[in-house]
Amino acid sequence: MVRVSLLALAGVLIAAGIAGGDVELLFRKAVFVCLECIGIG
């Protein structure tokens, strides 16, 4: 029961992050980190 509750909570929080527009910010930061790792950024 606890596992199902945590999974449902995770889904709600992921949906809230997507609705808030955090996905674009996350991908932008990920691209910058990748570019810095290979020496371009």
Question: Of 5-9, 12-16, 24-28, 35-39, which has the strongest mean pLDDT?
Answer: 5-9
Per-residue pLDDT averaged across 3-32, rounded? Answer: 91
Give the pLDDT confidence score for residue 5 in this predicted structure.
97
DSSP string, 1-41: -HHHHHHHHHHHHHHHHHHTTHHHHHHHHHHHHHHHHTT--
Please say if the pLDDT value at position 20 is more than 80: yes
18: phi then psi, degrees, rounded to nearest 5: -65, -45
Are 17 and 8 within 8 A, CB to CB?
no
Give the pLDDT of residue 34: 85
Domain range annotation of the chain: 2-37
User: Tokens in use for 8?
Assistant: 């449902």
